[in-house]
Amino acid sequence: MIGVERWAEIRRMKFVEERSIREIHRLTGYHRETIRAALASDKPPRYGRPPRRSKLDPFRPTIEELLDDEPTLSGVRIREEIEKLGYDGSKTIVDDLLRELRPRYLPPPRSFQRTVYRPGELAQFDLTEPKAEIPVGWGQTRRGYVLTCKLPYSRAFAGALVFSKEWADIAWGMNRCLGELGALPQKLVWDREGAIHRGNGRPTEAFAGFCGALALGWIILEPGDCQAKGALERDHRFLHGNFEAGRRFANQLDFQAQLGAWSAKINGRVHRTTRAVVCERLATERERMRLLPAELPDSDRRFVVRVPPQPYLRFDRNDYSLDPRLVGRRVEIRATQSELTAISLDTGEIAARHRRVFAGGLAFTDPAHQRALEELRGERRARRREPEVEIRPLDRYDRLIPA
């Protein structure tokens, strides 16, 4: 038995130095048959013990039958079944065998091909939830969502904080992200969010109207196909670990400001995949994209209500005062991300203007509305005063009634 080093040395002596077997025997001391075997083999010698018989070998057919019936059957249940048949080995060798056998019985895993993106072709959108709730003032926090956007060619990223998955908030977030990226792609890529997808792969009317206003196409992914926008899905882990970790936020405005600064920072770095500076690649991509319109599609909430006798409007868990002089009349409410206004439909006068608050359970009264309410109360009190009654002399009744 010789090692690999001696095997190589014998072959060198024979085929390079052209020594005879007799001379190699004299120099190395190995038997001539050992030398002949080394010269005849073009592969290095390998030595090892023969495989030992496993305790599981008698139970392997039973395990295969169990996996054939139920490929996802747990290792604990399989061990329980074979223990009934006499198995007394450890858990480890069962788990090792299952890692080898189970893939044969499971459906073949999905394979992926490398995707090549053309400049300006797609913009991928998604929603991710921050790990912690967002401070919104008044000592309260609120569950929020970050609407994320990425151009897969340049890897440019943008994000916007919203507090619901309703269409108005999603449309506002898309407007903000497209504004930060500075141009329009050819198509928007979304998964099946309720505000985007109405069933059977068709868009909601609101989403289709948004895309139509910007002359954009859309791609709504199949269920469970988040890998189709993998360029953005990977950024969610980066967002949670690199942006959120170790940061404090005063309120939702501070969160959005820090998110915008962080987005600008990562767009100025060299991307690990493209090996290019993101903002430089974005500048090239913008040359093939359409310019943003002067006005992006309207994303404000609009609805009409009639001013109730108690002149307050309930919106997003808060009460906002309305002009009490318009009680009974209809007003149009317009709610943006920062302001809430109400305008009378018949006269066009402003019925209310309030700063929008994302905390809940609060009531906001405009001082002008309070003064108008007090004036109306004073007028009603004046109308309710008792009228003056004429007091007639008693002799009139004496003349009318004979004695």
- What was the pLDDT predicted at 114? 65
Tell me the CA distances in angstroms from 54 to 65, 82, 83, 94, one per residue in order: 19, 14, 15, 10
Do 97 and 127 fall within a single domain? no
Q: How far apart are the first and last CA of the chain?
A: 160
Let me know if 160 is exposed, middle or buried by CB neighbors in 10 A (0-12, 13-18, 19+). buried
Counting every residue written for the chain, the total comes to: 403
Tell me what the pLDDT averaged over the chain comes to. 90
Lowest mean pLDDT, pick from 86-100, 158-172, 259-273: 86-100
Do 315 and 369 fall within a single domain? yes
Per-residue pLDDT at 157 exceeds 80: yes
Place of tokens 């141009």: 183
Do 221 and 174 fall within a single domain? yes
Do 217 and 350 fall within a single domain? no
Is 340 part of a structural domain of the chain? yes
Q: Report residue 253 as tokens.
A: 């405005």
**CB count, 10 Å around CB of 134?**
21
Residue 314: give the domain boundaries. Answer: 301-383
Lowest mean pLDDT, pick from 1-15, 245-259, 305-319: 1-15
Distance CA 115, CA 228 (A): 9
Q: What is the DSSP string of 2-67?
A: --HHHHHHHHHHHHTS---HHHHHHHH---HHHHHHHHH-SS-----PPPPPPTTGGGHHHHHHHH
Do 126 and 33 fall within a single domain? no
- What was the pLDDT predicted at 273? 87
CATH number of the domain encompassing residue 145: 3.30.420.10
Phi, psi of 241 (to 5 degrees): -85, -30
Per-residue pLDDT at 109 exceeds 90: no
Instruction: State pLDDT tens for residues 8-23.
Output: 888 888 888 888 988 8
- What was the pLDDT predicted at 323? 95
- Number of domains within the chain: 4
Is 393 part of a structural domain of the chain? no
The band of 338, judged by pLDDT with boundaries at 50, 70 and 90, is very high
Do 218 and 255 fall within a single domain? yes
Q: What is the DSSP letter of 139?
A: T
Do 334 and 309 fall within a single domain? yes
- What was the pLDDT predicted at 305? 96
Cβ–Cβ < 8 Å for 196, 170 = yes
Instruction: State pLDDT tens for residues 229-255.
Output: 677 888 899 999 999 999 999 999 999
Cβ–Cβ < 8 Å for 130, 248 = no
Is 270 part of a structural domain of the chain? yes
Do 143 and 271 fall within a single domain? yes
3-state secondary structure of 376: helix
| Residue in 106, 168, 117 with CA at minimum distance from that of residue 334 | 168
| Residue in 51, 77, 50, 55 with CA at minimum distance from that of residue 66 | 77
